[in-house]
Amino acid sequence: DAMVIQNPRYQVTQFGKPVTLSCSQTLNHNVMYWYQQKSSQAPKLLFHYYDKDFNNEADTPDNFQSRRPNTSFCFLDIRSPGLGDAAMYLCATTTGGLGTEAFFGQGTRLTVV
């Protein structure tokens, strides 16, 4: 059974129209990550939560926001998507322990038209 679930798998949105991607987990992990991955590139960390403590990367554009209403769910909001925001968005979870692996969802591929 999938432990980290991202919805939808594919999302098409219009230029400038707000879009929300969702991630849920059944692992009860403290930490949730959001990554942006463009074609043939490394995943780029946008932000992460440790419980409710939000950690924003310094170079994450203000256009990207996140919410974590409870342990199980985390949302990525893109307020005004541009063509450059088309990418795969990956959600991952882990415990606070240093050595525990991160479990990834299957990703949401975002297309901006």
Interacting residue ranges for other proteins, rule: CB under 8 A: 31, 33, 40-43, 45, 48, 50-51, 53, 55, 57, 88, 90, 92, 94, 96, 98-99, 101-104, 106-107, 109
Identify which of residues 23 and 90 has a Cβ nearer to other proteins in the complex: 90
Q: Minimum distance between the CB of residue 104 and other proteins, rounded to whole angstroms?
A: 4
Q: Minimum distance between the CB of residue 9 and other proteins, rounded to whole angstroms?
A: 10
Q: Minimum distance between the CB of residue 27 and other proteins, rounded to whole angstroms?
A: 13
Q: Minimum distance between the CB of residue 71 and other proteins, rounded to whole angstroms?
A: 15
Identify which of residues 66 and 94 has a Cβ nearer to other proteins in the complex: 94
The structure tokens 């256009």 sit at 63
Q: How far is CA 8 from CA 11, 46, 61, in A?
A: 6, 19, 22
Q: How many CA atoms lie within 13 A of 14 on its CB side?
A: 1
4 CB-contact burial (10 Å; exposed 0-12 / middle 13-18 / buried 19+)? buried
- In this structure, the number of other CB atoms found within 10 A of the CB of residue 66 comes to 19
